[in-house]
Structure 1
Amino acid sequence: MLIKTEHGENQFNIKCKNEKEQELYNQNPNRNMLTGHFEIEARKFSNDSIPHEIKQHLEQSRINKLTSYDNLLNAGLISEEFYELVNIDQNYFHAGAQTSIVVMNYILSEREKNILTEEQYTGLWEEAFKSYPVSNPNLMR
């Protein structure tokens, strides 16, 4: 591995066997500290009033973000292991966005400005944590 610190606008550039994988991964919006928060993704769907549609929109967003990786995996340019890690990362990121929608509705319910009913947002909350438990050992990878 070679680390070069004099590379234009980047602080450093890493040359290694997984260089292309890391480069693509670091371009994901959720890798950026300014735009990578669950809340930013959640805002796109925060006015949706049907839980099923919220889940569909989040799933479509997840699939869209994985398309580049699907292409690289199919071309043999990234490993199955790397793809699995990115997939897990995107699953949990979008589950986090789903819980952010819930939190927004919960907070807004105090002022009676929530979009979803308590039953709807409670269901979304429960489903996110059951589908993507924080105890999953793959999450720690």
Structure 2
Amino acid sequence: MCEYCGCQAVDAIGELTREHDRVVNLMGEVRAAHRAGDVPRMAEVAREIAAVLGPHTEVEERGLFPALAGDFPEHVEALESEHRVVEAALGAAADGTPADPAWPGHLLEVLEMLREHILKEQDGVFPAALAGLSTEDWERVDAVRRAFIPVRG
């Protein structure tokens, strides 16, 4: 992942990046389960990904993206649209293993899109945020994190 601009030194970006890293690792577990033909395991890991991305997405959409939307409205809109696609694919496994035989393949396709989405955020959004957000903007991002993600201890 991106480490060239220094944006990960900002706590909010560092946390979002660590969450991305966790999701990327889980995506590898989904692919391994798919290769093994273990659709229930794919669904289980999809729920783990959703558990990471639920609060993560709130931080992005309620904290980070509003501060960037004025300068990059189309980009922010596209990212939010991709969030909805990911949520739908993961949400299909919320209550267990989806019965739809096309779901495993669809999930893999969506996870490939998610991988590209993560790169767009880390290589574009996060450096733009580092350059353009004010102290007040970062305080709002941190407030959203506190509201949606339990403090680790």
TM, length-normalised to structure 2? 0.33
Structure number with greater Rg is 1
TM, length-normalised to structure 1? 0.35
User: Which protein has greater RCO, CA pairs closer than 8 Å, 6+ apart?
Assistant: 2
Query: Which structure shows the higher helix fraction?
Result: 2
